[in-house]
Amino acid sequence: SLLPLFIEGEVVKGFGRGSKDLGCPTANFSLEVVQSLPKGLAPGVYYGWAQVDSEAVHKMVANVGWCPFYQNKEMSVETHVMHKFDKDFYGSNLKICIVGYLRPEKNFSSLNDLIEAIKKDIADAHTKLEEMEAKILKDHKFFNQKN
Ligand code: ADP
Ligand code: MG
């Protein structure tokens, strides 16, 4: 299996498609980082752990692939950190540990359906990350290495 999968890189500007307006900002990795990922990684929504610079490790949900709702042309890895930050962190180092798979990408017929799906993903991630096999990865040495 490809999981758990550890990814690290600088947070870059995304597509400016208003994730923040949906109440769900998603931090993007550069195309270079995304293209270095294992080819077999299935598109979809994943849950795991995230760390901005050397701060605390938080729960996250990440979308991997081409977002059909927005007819994305490029592959992307977009991480929503389940934590309220005081300010944006473009240019920071982001580390994520992808722990498990939640669901495939879907097309949504309305913005409201998309928002409801995101809420469910976040709730599901909360639950799954309470499991012991997930919790031990929060303390993985990957998150202790200084940059
Ligand atoms: P973009 O299109 O540039 O990715 P978004 O609307 O998706 O814009 O917002 C993402 C940015 O919001 C991140 O790069 C980060 O700087 C900031 N941000 C603030 N809080 C969070 C959070 N909880 N999770 C992810 N990004 C966040
Ligand atoms: Mg984004």
Catalytic residue among 8, 10, 74, 78: 78
The domain of 26 spans 5-143
Asked if ipTM goes beyond 0.90, one says yes
Residue from 11, 13, 15, 20 whose mutation best tests the ligand 1 pocket (most atoms within 8 A of CB)? 20
Query: Catalytic residue at 78?
Result: yes
Distance of alpha carbon 138 from the chain centroid? 15
Q: What is the pLDDT of residues 75-87, one digit of tens each?
A: 789 999 999 999 9
Contacts of 49 (CB under 8 A, 6+ apart): 57, 58, 59, 60, 96, 97, 99, 129, 137, 138, 143
Q: What is the pLDDT of residues 84-127, one digit of tens each?
A: 999 999 999 999 999 999 999 888 899 899 899 999 999 999 99
**Ligand 1 atom closest to Cα of residue 16:** 2
**Domains identified in the chain, total number:** 1
Q: From the CA of 92, how far away is ligand 1's center (Å)? A: 11
ω into residue 4 within 30 of 0, thus cis?
Answer: yes
Q: Which CATH number belongs to the domain containing residue 85 in this structure?
A: 2.40.30.30
